[in-house]
Structure 1
Amino acid sequence: MEQLRDSIESRLKVVLPEDLGSSLMDGVVLCHLANHIRPRSVASIHVPSPAVPKLSMAKCRRNVENFLDACRKIGVPESSLCSPYDIIQCRLQPTPLLVSVTTQTPPPAWQIWDLIGSSLVHILCLVLLFVAYSWTELT
């Protein structure tokens, strides 16, 4: 469990409470972890607010379900997934689900082909502007 804690804390740059299970049961940290591994894999995360510091069970369950859906997208095998009930009831074991998720590496922010494609689009736009300007000067 300490290795799991260290992995989550280092990835998310947070300090988790002593009781790891209770800090994961509302699904907030888990959803942030999934988004760290694959950005936007969890589109909506219910978080506590100062006005309502504790999430309802329905919102906790929705967060946990969103996390499990993100795990599927990331490529965690279905056999490694647990039920939302196990997470909400703090019966989450560090293996194999969270170990699978925490060992995934986040994709690089920019792929080289993204950069090349973006550059080509900008160059094409500049060429088209030059041609349009040159054509208007001739007429």
Structure 2
Amino acid sequence: MTGFKKFLVRGNLVELAVAVVIGAAFSGLVEALVADIITPLIGAVTGGHQPNFADYTFTVNGAKFQYGDFVNHALSFLIVAAVIYWLVVLPMTRLLGLLTRDKAVTEKQCPECLSDIPVAARRCAFCTAVLVGPAGSPAPAHGRHSA
């Protein structure tokens, strides 16, 4: 039972619960926006009467397709997706870009085994390949003198 209590009071779970509640409230708000503002605007542009998209249907061989309700939900989804993109994704991307922009490069990739190794390494710790020096020649081996 103590493991379950620890699971319930973990920070990530509480944050997720708050996000779900706020998301549900936001979804209701967007559905009201579509039904009460956007749909009447479409009606004003298309003919002056307020359409009820939920009533828009067509029938094929006795099967009734309610495409109008789908249009309402599609508009709601697009609005929610746009708001999340513009108010969450873009700012977080910019913030992460600012935080990682000034980070100094401390590792490079070994050309032989593609492992990450320190920039100053002269030999790969994983495959022991001799790494190329800055002038394009192999880095001198430790303890050896050139002739």
Whether TM-score is above 0.5 comes out as: no
Larger Rg over CA atoms: 2
TM-score normalised by structure 1 residue count: 0.28
Question: Greater relative contact order: 1 or 2 (C-alpha under 8 angstroms, separation 6 or more)?
Answer: 1
